[in-house]
Structure 1
Amino acid sequence: MNARLYRTPLGVAALILSCQAPLPALGADYRLIPSLVVGEEYNDNLFQSASNAKTDFVTRVQPSLALNATGGGFSTDLSYGIDYRYFAKGSRKDQFDHRAAMKGSFGSPEDFLHLDLADTYSRVSSNVARDVVNESLVVNQTLQNNALISPYLTWHLPGGSKLKTGYRYRDVRYWEGDGIDKIEHDGYAEWSREIKAGMVLSAAYSYARVNSELAALDRHEVYAGLRYDYGTGNFLYGNLGYDWQYFDNGKSSSDPFWDLGAGRDFGVLTAVIGTKVQYTEDPQTIATRNVSHYATLSRNFPRGFASFNASYSKYDKQDLLVRDVQKKVLLGLSGRYELLQYLALTLNLSGDRLDRTIGTEYPYHLTGGLAVDYSLSQHLVLGANYSYISYRNDLGSTKGAVEVNRAIVEMRLSL
């Protein structure tokens, strides 16, 4: 495995976990899942340029291995994969990418002492306002390792309430591109009580110390909330709170935050609406406050599904001398339908607009994709998909725009 994965304390912890898990005394159930994806991509604008499009054929070989183990007071999911890319026309050198995900949890028999571990190593978008990892192999991306260690205690209090007190250590590092490494120490207390079946009252306080090469800050958060589940697909919840941030350079900010949502299954359609505030991990800054409002309509069919989603997001990069704010409106439509038991068709359409662009970004971003999957067996699938991507200054004009056509054929094998 790539040595970079073990540059953090969690990398060492995950290695210990993977070595210790097979002990027979733990009595765990194990499942090992190897898989392989082999594909060929045609891309007529590999680097997404408006004036100097480079066409290339990219051969990809992606072997991976996943391990799931549960029992003896612990559970763990480990996966590792390699993504080899060969660029036939030499637009760039052959490339090896590594992907890893590690997740483990331990609990004492009396449900008091717990330990959670998590780590992901993968490509992420340089700009959190636009996720481009699934539409490009090379543009506006960086490698991220995000590690978490969290020991905590669960206190069972009189009256059926619970108090969870714990500590979180987070280590985020970047390679191959711009990215600000961060280390976070977080202490928290979360109280909850089930008032009646399906209705839970909660409250929490947390303190975080975040350090980076760019800046450092202390953050305090407090909130109270209520959730009510009253049937499959039917729920209401709301968390309201306030946070305070104090930067070491003397700057400070205080803002309300919330997480409100509702879902309803109408039979014909399922609807979900919500609004939330959260601090999003951003390669470019130490603190990005993300305000998001969203709505989704979906329907399941006997042989497929269809869904529509709309959202408005604001990304406030708060640690810069001049606050950099981006606002995005997104509309998306997706669906899948099984033409035959072994043949499925998938359609995706989306468009978004940024009200403020940075560098060479365009305000409008349009994508459309069509995919066909043919299942030869339970473990072997042949797939083909085409996608069109367009970045524009004007929604109705392609003048000066970036346009990309991608076509991919691949074989997916899992055992």
Structure 2
Amino acid sequence: MVQGNSTVWAGEFSMTPTVSTGVEYSDNVEEKKNGKDDFIMSVTPGGEVKYEASRLEFSAKGGLEIREYAKGVKKSENLGNLDASMKLEALENFMFLEVSDVYTQVYSDSTRGDLEEGENDSSGVTDQNRFVVSPYIETDLLKRTRVKSGYRYERYDYSSDKSTDKLIHTVFGDVDHELTDRWSLDTRLSYARHEPDNDASALDVYKLLVGTTYEYAEDSEVYFRVGPAYRVKENGGSSSDPSWEAGVVHALDKGMSLALTTKRDLEEDPESASPRDSIVHSVRFSQVLERADWYARVSYGTYESDSSVSDTNRWSPGIGGSYQLTERLKLTGGVSSSFADADSYTARYFGNAGLRYQFSETFAGRFQYRYKLVDTTGSDEDYQVNRFGVYLDASF
């Protein structure tokens, strides 16, 4: 640990190397009908770095999972992940610079939402690298009015040949005005240019959101923002649709919380040269107890299609939680599913259960079971997967 306070750049530095190793058995490692089984050996070196000074913050966390298949049913795989970010206060309380780089795996079909933990279907997954640089100014215009304005450079790169790399340039301006300590008004104005690397047309997006946030109790608020979004394609054609984001977050007694949200926005899609117009509604209930926590959630989304298929509607319910059996032993589990009705109706079911034992502050062992079932109407290629794994985790 390095500490200091003689200059604005002196700060605290920490670094934590990690490594995880394990053996997993899958009765359908190919994730298809009548797929073959195999044992998967994995080693995941990684770590976390943090640096914090009065005007500079930096953090990076990541790892590289190296997989070997005992029977050679699949080729060796290297799965990396990185979440790095930096924030620099170039001029005190006025000019800032933010840089981030996130490397992870995502579904090639963006309508499937966030990647399920432990997903092993490489045919429907691609590596995504999102690199962002954003210089901006943020300051108090008046006593209760704060402005933020700047530019954002956003680069998406994918490992799959079927995905489309792209570059997004955004100019934005935000104004927040506090009417009271609990009630504020805000305005979001932006222009974004989406430039795909292929021969597809570039897209210009103009968007205005005006709204308010009201904190009616501790840890409880209601908010909404609404406005027009105007899209113009470089090779011709335009459209204008409303855009919004709204929700209620309500804190209940005994550690319980309820959140209801709705949002319409353009969503990055790996397989498309342009973002998808999406409308997503969600409800989530959660509770944190002394030795346990759990949640239940459901979302419903409608996703814009290209000209070849109909829009996709998707339901995604789920429930999960954890329980501290002893000071060292923890039980986790959950089930989730998604139901989509694009060209055909596809249902996917996921389940997981795990035990983790903390041998010491820096060393732990865990057992993990995962289940997956894919059922598509009118298809005889439905399949299921059972996976059992034992792992050791260490930090230094």
Q: What's the TM-score, normalizing by structure 2?
A: 0.92
Q: SS in structure 1 opposite 2:120?
A: coil
Name the CA shift for 1:165/1:24 in 2 (closer, same or farther; >3 Å): closer
Q: SS in structure 2 opposite 1:108?
A: strand
Q: SS in structure 2 opposite 1:139?
A: helix
Matched positions, count: 385
Show the counterpart of 1:344: 330
Show the counterpart of 1:279: 266
Q: CA deviation at 1:401?
A: 2.0
2:75 and 2:308 mapped to 1: Cα distance? 38
Q: CA contact under 8 A between 1:349 and 1:367: conserved in structure 2?
A: yes
- Superposed, 1:67-146 pairs within 5 Å as 67-130=49-112, 131-132=115-116, 134-136=118-120, 138-146=122-130
Name the CA shift for 1:132/1:139 in 2 (closer, same or farther; >3 Å): farther
Q: Tell me whether 193-202 or 382-391 shows the greater mean CA deviation.
A: 193-202
Name the CA shift for 1:392/1:323 in 2 (closer, same or farther; >3 Å): closer
2:334 and 2:386 mapped to 1: Cα distance? 15
Q: CA deviation at 1:133?
A: 6.0
Name the CA shift for 1:79/1:301 in 2 (closer, same or farther; >3 Å): closer
Q: CA contact under 8 A between 1:316 and 1:323: conserved in structure 2?
A: no
Show the counterpart of 2:43: 61
Q: CA contact under 8 A between 2:16 and 2:48: conserved in structure 1?
A: yes
Name the CA shift for 1:103/1:238 in 2 (closer, same or farther; >3 Å): same
- Superposed, 1:174-193 pairs within 5 Å as 174-193=158-177
2:250 and 2:105 mapped to 1: Cα distance? 35
Show the counterpart of 1:15: none
Q: CA deviation at 1:120?
A: 1.1
Output the amino acid matched with 1:315.
Y
Name the CA shift for 1:31/1:230 in 2 (closer, same or farther; >3 Å): farther
Show the counterpart of 2:365: 382
1:377 and 1:139 mapped to 2: Cα distance? 38
Q: CA contact under 8 A between 1:143 and 1:177: conserved in structure 2?
A: no
Q: CA deviation at 1:207?
A: 0.4
Show the counterpart of 2:394: 413
Tell me whether 1:371 sits opposite 2:354 in the alignment: yes
- Superposed, 1:9-408 pairs within 5 Å as 26-50=9-33, 52-130=34-112, 131-132=115-116, 134-136=118-120, 138-212=122-196, 213=198, 214-268=200-254, 269-285=256-272, 286-317=274-305, 320-322=306-308, 324-357=310-343, 363-393=346-376, 400-408=381-389
Any idea what the Cα deviations from partners look like across 1:133-187, whole Å, max 9, x if unmatched? 6321523111111110100011321242011110001111111442101111110
Q: CA deviation at 1:40?
A: 1.0
Q: CA contact under 8 A between 1:357 and 1:363: conserved in structure 2?
A: no
Show the counterpart of 1:20: none
Q: CA deviation at 1:355?
A: 1.0
Q: CA contact under 8 A between 1:183 and 1:210: conserved in structure 2?
A: yes
Greater strand share, 1 or 2? 2
Q: SS in structure 1 opposite 2:304?
A: strand
Name the CA shift for 1:177/1:403 in 2 (closer, same or farther; >3 Å): farther
Q: CA contact under 8 A between 1:141 and 1:177: conserved in structure 2?
A: no
2:153 and 2:121 mapped to 1: Cα distance? 31
Q: CA deviation at 1:24?
A: 8.4
Paired-residue identity, %? 25
Q: Tell me whether 128-137 or 242-251 shows the greater mean CA deviation.
A: 128-137
Unmatched 5+ stretches in structure 1: 1-22
Name the CA shift for 1:89/1:177 in 2 (closer, same or farther; >3 Å): farther
1:322 and 1:209 mapped to 2: Cα distance? 25
Name the CA shift for 1:402/1:410 in 2 (closer, same or farther; >3 Å): same
Show the counterpart of 2:3: none
- Alignment RMSD: 2.1
Q: CA contact under 8 A between 1:384 and 1:409: conserved in structure 2?
A: yes
Name the CA shift for 1:142/1:177 in 2 (closer, same or farther; >3 Å): farther
Q: CA contact under 8 A between 2:32 and 2:381: conserved in structure 1?
A: no
Name the CA shift for 1:246/1:323 in 2 (closer, same or farther; >3 Å): farther
Q: SS in structure 2 opposite 1:340?
A: coil
